[in-house]
Amino acid sequence: MSEPVDRVLTTTRAARRRLDLGRPVPRELLLECLEVALQAPTGSNRQGWQFVLVSDPDRKRAVAEHYRRSWYAYAARPRPAYPEGDPRGARMDRVVRSARYLADHMAEAPWLVIPCLEGRLAAGASTAEQASFWGSILPAFWSFMLAARARGLGTAWTTLHLVYERDVAEILGIPYDRYTQAGLSPVAYLRGEPGAALRIPASQVAHWEKW
């Protein structure tokens, strides 16, 4: 794999405070990212995806307010506990501050992007059904984010607005009974150059031949 590809893959961070909220992003750049995203695999090649890209200030504020309400409710829960020395625990306070910033400033991003997939999972859907369903939209959304990173844009994959999925569908005219929202990402130019994140070594998560 070429070095530029590795660089994009290892530096596509959840951009929050690094987003340049005051710099416009041209629509054509988002279309380039979507063209890349639409090359992603999808179950049975159905390509049942749709993407809602929002720049209208009033609609952004309405969507962002639902995200903000959901984030503050989530943040009030007890935080995850990590073993001493675990890098995830060491960075928790920083992550929370960054996430709060995004919750308070989501509406200021030049664009909000919501990926959708045709259909809805039935209540009690099996693990296999869930994996097949989400596997037909999440690779495309991740490809969109990688393409954005390669073009100097920042994104952040969020899901908390889905607590109010039906409300957001009404705001944006998404046919709720026919399409499921899979996430929400702000899109803006990045400030600075992100590096690779501190992660648990591969040797600690790899299981060879059996668990």
Q: What is the pTM of this model?
A: 0.91
Return the bridge partners of 50, or none: 116
118 and 179 Cβ atoms separated by less than 8 Å: yes
Q: Which residue has the tokens 């648990």?
A: 200
- Residue count of the chain, please give it: 211
pLDDT at 197: 81
pLDDT at 196: 84
Classify residue 140 as exposed, middle or buried by CB count within 10 Å of its CB (0-12, 13-18, 19+): buried
Query: Which domains, from first to last, does the chain contain?
Result: 3-80+88-191 (3.40.109.10)
pLDDT at 1: 44
Classify residue 195 as exposed, middle or buried by CB count within 10 Å of its CB (0-12, 13-18, 19+): exposed
pLDDT along the chain (211 residues), means of 10: 78 91 97 97 93 98 98 88 71 85 97 98 96 96 97 96 98 98 98 85 95 96
pLDDT at 4: 86
